[in-house]
């Protein structure tokens, strides 16, 4: 049995690596692509805001019925939605409605794929080594996320930006292959009334609500605000320059993720979360300072420090997520996380849509990066129920 679980874990890592390779191409390219095609900043931010509406309102209503089948099928379906999104993005212009097709399948992908993926990994990961396994999962995804923009940048340089999405869609197909060989079968029966009751009464659910909203906001800052505004203000029309800058730091960041996961299992959870939050706050201030001082060496230094702190924070935060899922109800906690994460992304993107409508100068929009500071300190809320991990009590 252990051998099968270990094998399934390796297959899941392979899927995560291949998926992350294509996903980061889509995530980083889409806002820049829309801007180049003539869409306004308010439109771009609102586009991303509304893709999270389905996740907030429909996750607990639709996904439970879908998860009653083999979750492998749900993961594959979510990947297929992403592939269709990639092909649809090829045809987007301001003169047609292909952006609406891309929007539909991007929303469906987020709604179906991530709840199934997180739930599946919670079942595969062992309780005693959940931190280490989360660190490995994050590390292989990180390496893929660094390599992908460089490859995509080369494609954009020698051909057309449209072919970046074609490349991402084709590569996404390969991420399905490892999933086909995973032997673990997971199906979930979901009682929505019990879920609502647990949301209201379970202390872990109540104390982690705002941290997951904050996590969604931070995700939007890291993967939408930062690359888009970097491109507009500092990229010199070379969007993938940022990916090149990050290359050397990727190996160190991957090691940090694995090490943090190991320390998480050794019960250094609170210290890891506290130090990583403070480090991310400092590195975020350095990235904000790029508005005033941005020679290449400082850009590299600020981005490297941010990459290191983000690696530690996300590895710790995700380890908490899988651990809390194991000591409560795995399906309930996964859906709880997705609902609040989607709400956080929606709120941040909506805020930026309104802000960019009234603030037309990119230099002034850059000041909005300071919003990350109060968001980060909401993460501290998560350690209030740390003690429940030790006794495995279903609070």
Confidence band of 185 (pLDDT split at 50, 70, 90): confident
pLDDT of residue 237: 46
pLDDT at 394 over 80: no
DSSP string, 192-219: HHHHHHHHHH-HHHHHHHHHHHHHHHHH
Alpha-carbon separation of residue 57 from 70, 302, 318, 336, 339 (angstroms)? 23, 37, 23, 12, 7
pLDDT at 109 over 60: yes
Residue 243 or residue 364, greater confidence: 364
pLDDT of residue 393: 43
pLDDT at 342 over 90: yes
Any idea which of 43-47, 105-109, 309-313 has the lowest mean pLDDT? 309-313
CATH, domain range 2-179+201-382: 1.20.1250.20
Domain range annotation of the chain: 2-179+201-382
Confidence band of 98 (pLDDT split at 50, 70, 90): very high
Alpha-carbon gap, residue 162 to 154, rounded angstroms: 13
Alpha-carbon gap, residue 395 to 388, rounded angstroms: 8
Alpha-carbon separation of residue 314 from 259, 261, 306, 332 (angstroms)? 13, 10, 12, 21
Looking at the chain, the number of H-run helices and the number of E-run strands are 18, 0
Confidence band of 248 (pLDDT split at 50, 70, 90): low
Confidence band of 16 (pLDDT split at 50, 70, 90): very high
Tokens of 36: 């180049």
pLDDT at 239 over 50: no
Confidence band of 392 (pLDDT split at 50, 70, 90): low
pLDDT at 3 over 50: no
Tell me the mean pLDDT in the region 312-317.
Answer: 87
pLDDT of residue 5: 45
pLDDT at 69 over 50: yes
Residue 185 or residue 273, greater confidence: 273
pLDDT at 235 over 50: yes
Phi/psi for 120 (5° steps) reads -65, -40
């Amino acid at each position: 049995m252990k051998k099968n679980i270990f094998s399934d874990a390796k297959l899941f890592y392979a899927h995560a690596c291949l998926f992350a390779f294509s996903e980061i191409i889509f995530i980083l390219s889409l806002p820049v692509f829309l801007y180049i095609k003539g869409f306004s900043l308010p439109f771009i931010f609102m586009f991303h805001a509304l893709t999270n509406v389905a996740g907030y309102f429909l996750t607990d209503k639709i996904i439970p019925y879908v998860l009653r089948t083999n979750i492998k099928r749900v993961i594959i379906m979510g990947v297929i939605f992403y592939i269709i999104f990639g092909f649809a993005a090829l045809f987007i212009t301001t003169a047609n409605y292909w952006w609406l097709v891309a929007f539909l399948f991007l929303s469906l992908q987020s709604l179906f794929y991530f709840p199934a993926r997180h739930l599946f990994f919670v079942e595969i990961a062992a309780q005693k080594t959940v931190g280490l396994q989360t660190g490995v999962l994050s590390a292989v995804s990180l390496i893929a996320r660094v390599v992908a923009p460089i490859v995509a940048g080369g494609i954009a340089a020698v051909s057309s930006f449209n072919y970046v999405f074609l490349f991402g869609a084709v590569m996404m197909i390969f991420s399905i292959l490892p999933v086909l060989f995973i032997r673990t079968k997971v199906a979930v029966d979901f009682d929505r009334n019990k879920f609502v009751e647990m949301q209201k009464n379970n202390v872990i659910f109540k104390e982690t609500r705002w941290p997951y909203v904050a996590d969604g906001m931070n995700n939007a800052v890291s993967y939408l605000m930062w690359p888009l505004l970097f491109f507009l203000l500092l990229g010199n029309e070379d969007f993938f320059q940022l990916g090149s800058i990050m290359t050397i730091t990727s190996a160190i960041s991957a090691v940090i993720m694995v090490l943090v996961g190991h320390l998480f299992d050794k019960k250094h959870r609170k210290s890891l979360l506290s130090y990583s939050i403070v480090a991310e706050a400092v590195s975020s201030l350095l990235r904000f300072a790029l508005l005033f001082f941005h020679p290449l060496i400082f850009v590299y230094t600020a981005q490297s420090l941010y990459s290191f702190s983000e690696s530690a924070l996300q590895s710790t935060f995700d380890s908490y997520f899988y651990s809390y899922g194991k000591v409560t109800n795995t399906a309930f906690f996964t859906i709880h996380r997705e609902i609040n994460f989607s709400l956080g992304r929606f709120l941040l993107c909506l805020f930026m849509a309104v802000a960019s409508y009234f603030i037309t100068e990119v230099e002034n929009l850059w000041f909005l990066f300071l919003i990350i500071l109060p968001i980060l300190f909401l993460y501290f809320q998560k350690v209030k129920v740390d003690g429940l991990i030790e006794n495995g009590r279903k609070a």
